[in-house]
Structure 1
Amino acid sequence: MFKPQFIKHEVLVFRQFQRKGYSLFACLGREVVISVLSVATLQSAGATSISDETWRANEDSTKTAAREVMLDDVSITGSRAPLTVSQAARMVTVLSREDIAQAPVQSINDLLKMAVGIDVRQRGPLGSQTDISIRGGTQEQIIILLNGINISDPQTAHNTMDLPCDVSDIERIEVLEGPAGRTYGTSSLVGAINIVTRTHQPNTHAEIRLESGSYGYAKAGARINPLSNALHWNGMISASYARSDGYSRSRDGKLNTDFSGSKAFYQGGYHNQLVRLSWHLGISDKGWGSGTFYATPKWQADEQYEHTTKTFFALQGENREGPVHFQTAIYWNQNKDRYEGYRDCPEKMKYNYNRCNVYGLKLNSYFDWICGRTALGAEMRNEDLVSGNLGEPLFRTHHINGTDRDYTLGVNRTNISAHLEHNVLLNRLTISAGFVAAKSSWSNMNMTLYPGIDVSYQLMGHGASSVSRQSSSLKLFASYNSSLRLPSFTEMYYKLQGYSADPHLKPEEMQALEIGAHYISSIIDAKASIYHHHGKDMIDWIMDTNQGSEAQWKSVNHTKVNSYGVEANMGVNLSQWLKFNDRNTRISLSYSYIYQDKDLEEGIVSQYALEYLRHKLVGSLQTDVWKNLSLRLDYRWQDRVGSYTSFSGETMNYKPYMLMDAHIQWDAKRYVVYADVNNLLNNRSYVDFGNVPQPGRWFVAGLKIRL
């Protein structure tokens, strides 16, 4: 009689197939689980900390660490220590390459509108200038990263989205909502956005892009992959130029919302079995008519203009073998801008010149031991501004190239931080806890700790050892996190044309609680969460309208602001549900509600902090119409809390508005033809910023040629 032998094998999870010589031998003697980790919808995709090396606890013991074989998987950072998507405790929304390609947008700014937790406030379309915030915060309270490198501008966040890369260069965008100090350090008060670019495009050596549209819009760009066939090297070079006449004219009939600019970006890398290196170098040069962007009832200028030049460089590396993994990075960002209160009229108002250099060095390490996976490291970041109107008098002035003027003012501060994080992973339970310790040379604050903890539990479906999209799973998660944000140099020193800044502003601090659930199957991807943010010393620009013509915008620290919010989103794969074998059809619906309990005194108007989206409803439909023809419709309805003072001196409340966009595309093997219609229903009455008119319907048609 035969007696069955129960032999327990180590589980190996494949997430991506690679042409590696050792791939077959890595499977010997192991149970293999083949699964697909994909993003179902733009709003509800939850994927966190996918790593190229994973750690898990054996099912029989929580004290024995087992390393899985390293695979070249996608890396998504939601914690200091890399974890697989099934292990991660904190949810990260991922806008995938597929979502980006199908979205009716021409800029990354426009793309982020469809993420329900993000507030995108436009001063001009097509990415000319946009303020982006998360969960009721301000544009200054989030951190923007390019390939994991902090590119936030300490002078002002208004121009942070002047990126060196185009939408077509983006592989994915990761959105981490809530305080992220433990993961990204200072400035990530209410969230973080990490933009990851493409290192190569399979089966494509080059791509040419041409676009044309309303308001004199035209764009040309190209991308090449010079190392597409190299074994250990990769690289991508892209460049583009765009321009538009703008959608409005000044009172004198001149252009005042036009723009033109160029971008160039290079990303490269080298990897073998021992190390992985990556680097990027980019530049963005753009000028745009700012219309009434910064106008006030006292100063109703409608021919403002701004020009920025930004340079980005970063070098990153990590070892791929050994008991301790080191991840290092050095980076340099330079931001130069010229602001003209009256376009081409320096005699009426001197131009404001600023140049900000940011130098950074960061080190992260992680290792596995009997109690789990631990990460620790540090970062040093120096921010140096020289300016014509911001900062303290300089000991030695610096000449402004191309002018007869000098930088006479400036600010320099060094921010240092250290972090420690530990992760305990059981079969279904993940606990990730740690802290960041931060200090700035600008502030008198002592080294201060900001702790956080994330917990998730796989209630149904596979545990942390594997994930299969073919079966259903339900994950519960909860978190407590805290962070801080130093004031920008503009908030500290801007004192022109109705603005009066306070150089003695204190850092903002935030604490947040969140609980939620995430359900995923082959048909439905749904997530819901509730959260509470408690902000201390929040920074904002406010105006006391009781002062009449003497009223000014002043930067202040609010004492406390409490935010309560609910987010829910669901995506449905109709093709899988209704058995449409020849048609890919998906729908999604997302909703966000926020309430803040900080009330302003009568007559006080807030410019940012207390103007937030109380309601935001987002929906989309994407379907294959016929053969290579696809259609996408995006719907957005939002209701903003807050008010603004019109040029006539009247206090106006923001009104709810609805917008719809459409994208139709023919995707062939070697070319793509597409057309976008933004603001399809021609809504001309909506207002994102007070006293800044918005365009009606506009069209864009484009062509991509793959070589």
Structure 2
Amino acid sequence: MKTWIVLFSVAAVGSSARAQTTPAVSPVSTTVVVVGSPEPVTIGETNRSATVLNTEKHPLAYQQTEDYLRTDASVFVEQRGAGGSQADISIRGTSFEQTLVLLNGLRINDAETSHNNMDIPVPLAALRSIDVLQGAGSTLYGSDAIGGVVDFVTAKPKHDSLLLRAGGGNYGENEQEAVMAAVGSKWSELLAGERDFSSGFMYDRDYRDEEASSESRYDSRLGESDILVAGDDRAFGANNFYGNYPSYERTKGWFASMQQALGQHTDAAFGYRRHTDEYVLFRNDPAIYENNHIDTSWQAALRRHDAAGRDTRLFYGLEADGDGIHSNNLGVHARNWGAGYLDAEVQAGRASLSAGLRQEIISGGYFITSPMLAAGYFVTQKIKLRGNVGYGFRLPTYLDLYYSDPGTIGNPHLKPESAWNFEGGADWFANARLYVASTVFYSRQHDAIDYTRATASDPYQATNLTGLSFVGWENSAVWQPDDANEMKASWTLLSGAQKALHGLQSEYVFNYPVNNASLEGTHTWAAGYMVHSRIGVTERYEKSPYAVWDLAGARDVGRWRPYVQLTNITNTGYQEVYGVQMPGRAVVAGLEISLTRGARRAEKP
């Protein structure tokens, strides 16, 4: 109980001073959501539970993408390596494999293992936002969208500019970043590169993370062309990551996509991803045990929308996907699938309705239908009620199907897992400065994939389970009392039913947090200096709660922008993945140089 009191008494930053030049924030109801709907809509228009994390606002207050995701209490980050080396994302208690990760709306989930889903090849500095959909999303996005969807959206430059950043801290931390943008009358180019090194806070926990991207846009008579090429290289000590071994792992990948508007109503998109994973059980003696995996995936989509009367819009399209793997442990495998979907959006006065259906045809003889129905109604101009029922499914990864070692055994006979998601909630748009949302949800899974065993001496075996369900209550609020201050709070309460285990030991089912909360505050002075504070409190199933406090200060404007980032100020000892210790108190400080003339507010090029 004391931990929860600390959360609501310490995290806020004082709000007495007022800025004179900081522009007022836009009303929350106009914040654009690009996930969970066939086209961008505002928070006020969507009938789904969704969160928009603006990565262009106060970028020097955050070290990595996982820091943004931790501000959404329905998202639980299970991080092994510091600096973004390896992290899993769970939404509403579902497993990390049941979260779909997108990059500009295209799938980048890893075909080998979902442990690598967060190998985002685009540097954080090149992102515009991270959009989170809570709840099933397979009607629009297909496989893996059981618990939710996370879409990383890249930034579109507004002017010629150059940003350079360098910093360092304890544990041998050093980081560098460069972002260059060029903008013409009909084209733009954004180049970004980032690297983050550390000698590690303990033995065999060093890391080296590098990402680089190039995104080119061009406007023609057809519409906008968008070509993105990005790559990443992550090498890290994996001490205790997968058991009591001084292991080592290195993942590398690249992603290329092209999205083309074909007039005002049609869009075509194609994406290709290649990813490699080298795992060594004993870092100093690779000959004892080593795995090498190469997996590839691709996606092609043709999407169209039309008006069907004054109040109805139709969205429909065709998609084709495929993935494959070449591995010394998992073997050589490949599969393909295709889908068609139809979605109708109806707006009638205060009421709105969304109805969709997707049909998936998967190699191996699987036919999966994913329906969705969502509705909303403005009881008053400020209060909206909404509800949603949707279906999500996931194909097993190749590791689920074919992996084998003394402690873990895959299962080539696994069925795709699926879930029905039900939710009802309310939004209160009090005014332009205050927004509150509350949602109750229930998810029931079928053929859920978990690793189970009868006793501690047995290996874990990949298994399909029945009877697994979760019920929860999520709440969030955004308040800007004045132009100098902003506060955000979120809290999710979760309960799971584990009747599906029938006395077996589980590797993943009991990982979810029964309580997860985040409170953050930002204060900005007239000269552009800001301070950002966040406290997160997590209570895992049958575990003691822990609190982590992060604090950052920076200058958001001008040519010279110093910054300092303090993480885990209270030096809390905690684990987001059982058996993997997280770093203690740490500090990183540095300087960002902006060569953009006339920039008056913090924004990426």
Task: Give the alignment's TM-score, normalised by structure 1.
Answer: 0.78
- Asked if 2 retains the 8 angstrom alpha-carbon contact of 1:47 and 1:93, the reply is no
Note closer, same or farther for the CA distance 1:47–1:562 as it changes in structure 2 (3 Å cut). farther
Match of 1:618 in 2: 518
Distance 1:237 1:102, change over 3 A: closer
What is residue 341 of structure 1 aligned with on the other side? 281
What is the alpha-carbon distance in structure 2 between the residues aligned to residue 658 and residue 539 of structure 1?
30
After superposition, residues 359-378 of structure 1 pair within 5 angstroms as: 359-370=298-309, 372-378=312-318
Contact 1:436 1:451 in 2 (8 A): yes
| Aligned residues of 1:48 and 1:77 also touching (Cα < 8 A) | no
Partner of 1:572: 479
CA shift, 1:98, in A, is: 4.7
Aligned to 2:540, the other structure's residue is in SS state strand
Matched, 1:190 2:147: yes
Counterpart amino acid of 1:309? K
Which is further off, 473-482 or 268-277?
268-277
Q: Give the CA deviation at 1:203.
A: 4.7
Cα distance in 1 between the residues matched to 2:317 and 2:557: 47
- List runs of 5+ in structure 2 lacking aligned partners: 1-23, 596-605
| 1:293 alignment partner, SS class | coil
> Identity over aligned residues, as a percent?
25
User: Partner of 2:437 in structure 1?
Assistant: 527
Alignment of 1:318-397 (within 5 A): 318-321=261-264, 325-349=265-289, 351-370=290-309, 372-390=312-330
Residues 46 and 92, structure 1, Cα contact 8 Å, conserved in 2: no
- Residue 691 of structure 1 and its aligned partner are, at CA, apart by 1.7
Aligned residue in 1 for 2:192: 238
Q: Which moved more, 1:358-367 or 1:272-281?
A: 272-281
SS of the residue corresponding to residue 114 of structure 1 reads: coil
Deviation per residue, 1:347-379 (Å, 9 max, x gap): 222x21111111221111111122611111111
Counterpart of 2:218 (choices 235, 246, 270) is 270
CA distance in structure 2 between the aligned counterparts of 1:681 and 1:203, rounded to whole angstroms: 41
**1:129-168 superposed matches below 5 A:** 129-168=86-125
Q: Indicate if the aligned counterparts of 2:485 and 2:523 stay in contact, CA closer than 8 A.
A: yes
For the pair 1:670 / 2:559, whether they are aligned, the reply is: yes
Question: Match for 1:245: what amino acid?
Answer: S
Q: For 1:57-81, what per-residue CA distance to the aligned partner results, in whole angstroms no more than 9, with x for missing partners?
A: xxxxxxxxxxxxxxxxxxx242225
Aligned partner (choices 145, 168, 177) of residue 212 of structure 1: 168
Q: Are the structure 2 counterparts of residues 415 and 609 from structure 1 closer, same or farther at C-alpha, using a change threshold of 3 Å?
A: farther
Choose from 240, 259, 273 the match for 1:316: 259
**Match 2:424 to one of 515, 518, 521:** 515
Structure 2: how far apart are the matches of 1:534 and 1:37? 39
The answer (yes or no) to whether the contact 2:373–2:390 under 8 Å persists in 1 is yes
Contact 1:170/1:198 (CA < 8 Å) preserved in 2?
Answer: yes
Structure 1 residue 272 displacement after superposition: 4.3
Is residue 378–residue 417 contact of structure 1 (8 Å, CA) maintained in 2? yes
Structure 1 segment 655-666 matched on structure 2, within 5 A: 655-666=544-555
Task: Kindly provide the CA deviation profile for residues 528-559 of structure 1, in whole angstroms up to 9, marking residues without a partner as x.
Answer: 010111111111112333xx5x3211111111
Tell me by how many angstroms 1:616 deviates. Answer: 0.6
Q: 2:353 aligned to 415, 421, 431, which one?
A: 431
Q: Distance in 1 between matches of 2:500 and 2:341?
A: 37
SS in structure 2 of the partner of residue 126 of structure 1: helix
SS in 2 for 1:704: strand
- Residue 487 of structure 1: aligned partner: 396
Q: Which has the higher contact order (CA 8 A, sep 6+)?
A: 2
User: Pick from 338, 347, 371: which aligns with 1:451?
Assistant: 371
Offset at residue 86 of structure 1 (A): 4.2
* Alpha-carbon distance between aligned partners in 2 of 1:601 and 1:515, rounded to the nearest angstrom: 28
- Residue of structure 1 in register with 2:248 after alignment: 305
- The correspondence of residues 272-291 of structure 1 with structure 2, limited to 5 A, is 272=220, 274-291=222-239
Structure with greater strand percent: 2
Cα distance in 1, alignment partners of residues 37 and 461 from structure 2: 37
* Partner Cα separation in structure 2 for residue 38 and residue 169 of structure 1: 22
Tell me which amino acid in the other structure corresponds to 1:668: V
User: Aligned residue for 1:704?
Assistant: 592
Secondary structure of 2:68 counterpart: helix
CA distance in 2, matches of 1:500, 1:692: 22
Distance 1:507 1:39, change over 3 A: farther
Q: What is aligned with 2:528?
A: 628
**CA–CA distance in 1 between the matches of 2:270 and 2:65?**
25
1:48·1:90 contact (CA, 8 Å) conserved in 2?
no
1:223 and 2:179 aligned: yes
Structure 1 stretches lacking a partner, 5+ long: 1-35, 50-75, 250-255, 391-408, 462-472, 576-582, 642-652
Matched-pair contact (CA < 8 Å) for 2:83–2:209: no
Q: Does 1:90 align with 2:52?
A: no
Q: What is the alpha-carbon distance in structure 2 between the residues aligned to residue 373 and residue 501 of structure 1?
A: 44
CA distance in 1, matches of 2:41, 2:501: 47
1:257 offset after TM fit, Å?
0.7
- Which secondary structure does the structure 2 equivalent of 1:460 belong to? coil
Amino acid at match of 1:94: V
Write the distance in 2 (CA, Å) between the matches of 1:273 and 1:669: 38
Change (3 A) 1:136 1:222: same
Conserved 8 A contact 2:51-2:133: yes
CA distance in 1, matches of 2:169, 2:553: 15
Structure 2 distance, partners of 1:570, 1:429, is 23
Q: Which letter does structure 2 place at the counterpart of 1:246?
A: G
CA change 1:291–1:39 in 2 (3 A) is farther
User: What's the secondary structure of 1:111's corresponding residue?
Assistant: helix
Q: For 2:44 and 2:492, how far apart are their aligned partners in 1?
A: 25
Contact 1:102/1:632, CA 8 A, preserved across alignment:
no
Instruction: Supply the AA of the counterpart residue of 2:454.
Output: D
Q: Offset of 1:214 from its aligned partner?
A: 1.6
For 2:528 and 2:589, locate their aligned partners in 1 and report how far apart those are by CA, in whole Å.
17
| Equivalent-residue separation in structure 1 for 2:230 and 2:527 (angstroms) | 38
CA contact (8 A) 2:125 2:192 kept: no
Residue 280 and residue 673 in structure 1: after superposition, are their counterparts in 2 closer, same or farther (change >3 A)? same
Q: Show the counterpart of 2:539.
A: 639
1:243/1:259 contact within 8 Å kept = yes
Given that 1:39 and 1:96 are in contact with CA atoms closer than 8 Å, whether structure 2 keeps it comes out as: no
Matching residue of 2:449:
539
Q: 1:178–1:37: structure 2 CA closer, same or farther, 3 Å change rule?
A: farther
Give the Cα–Cα distance (whole angstroms) in 1 for the partners of residues 148 and 465 of structure 2: 20
Amino acid at match of 2:466: T
**Aligned AA (1:369):** A
Q: Deviations over 1:589-647 (max 9, x none)?
A: 21101111124668633222332011011101111256322111101111111xxxxxx
Distance 1:280 1:190, change over 3 A: same
